[in-house]
Structure 1
Amino acid sequence: MNNWEIWTDTNISPIIAKWISEHTKFKTRSSYSLKLHSVQDLTIYKLAKIHGNIIIISKDSDFVEIIDWFGAPPKLILIKFGNCSNQTFWRKLEPWINSALEVLLNDNEEINMVSTT
């Protein structure tokens, strides 16, 4: 098992975190289980930075700017598709999530962000 953990942002349902965990075998926690659902993005970033080896999944482009400015980790999977049901969200993410994780965790390249539409 790897030593990376995934945190899903407030704008992503906690059920998605459960499905990601089951599908990828990465420990995945929602902002609600982390008790971070009402804090600012910069605070989440700082906590993830302290924790180390965190990948944030978010629809919020503020994380792009924060990671560009302060560096990684955490790393970021930016979701660019609009609001939809949890089932539709998962149908769009599921075939792509493992590839995104491989790209982010490739030891030969320093890639800190990936995005999907």
Structure 2
Amino acid sequence: MTTFTNNWEFWLDENISPIISKWLMDEIKIKCISFHLLTLNQTPDLEVYHLARNKKKVIIISKDEDYRELVAWKGAPPKLIAIKFGNCPSRLFWEKLKTEIYDAIDKLIYGDLDIFDIK
């Protein structure tokens, strides 16, 4: 396992179960917070983008195409893990995310990629 710096955070969009943040934090040892805990679940995407941008080292995990457009148009930070697969139970979602998360981290935190797709 790669050792990651702890100053990065993952923010999970409101359409992703908050249990994923716990499983993700247990797996990768980086702070993971759901929009629900951040009280951002009713916040417009542009405002969330600006909050994450001001925080600097944030990676948003979302199925929402608006974040892709914001990062592509306005740039990073924040960085984005774009979920491209459809709705599924939390356990299946976690299995799909877990298979790609280390590659995503390597490319987003240590590489020069701003958006990583998980299909």
Which residue of structure 2 lines up, in the alignment, with residue 115 of structure 1? 117
Asked if residue 37 in structure 1 is aligned to residue 41 in structure 2, the reply is yes
Structure 1 unaligned runs (5+)? none
- 2:89 pairs with 82, 85, 88, which one? 85
User: What is the TM-score with the length of structure 1 in the denominator?
Assistant: 0.94
- Secondary structure of the corresponding residue to residue 104 of structure 1: helix
C-alpha separation in 2, matches of 1:24 and 1:4? 11
User: What is the TM-score with the length of structure 2 in the denominator?
Assistant: 0.93
1:43-101 per-residue CA deviation (whole Å, 9 max, x = no partner) reads 11000011110000000111111011111010000000100000110111111111111
Tell me which amino acid in the other structure corresponds to 1:46. Answer: H
The CA RMSD measured in Å over matched residues stands at 0.9
Structure 2 unaligned runs (5+)? none
Which residue of structure 1 lines up, in the alignment, with residue 11 of structure 2? 7
Q: In the TM superposition, what is the alpha-carbon distance from 1:110 to its structure 2 partner?
A: 1.9
C-alpha separation in 2, matches of 1:15 and 1:95? 17
Tell me which amino acid in the other structure corresponds to 1:105. Answer: I
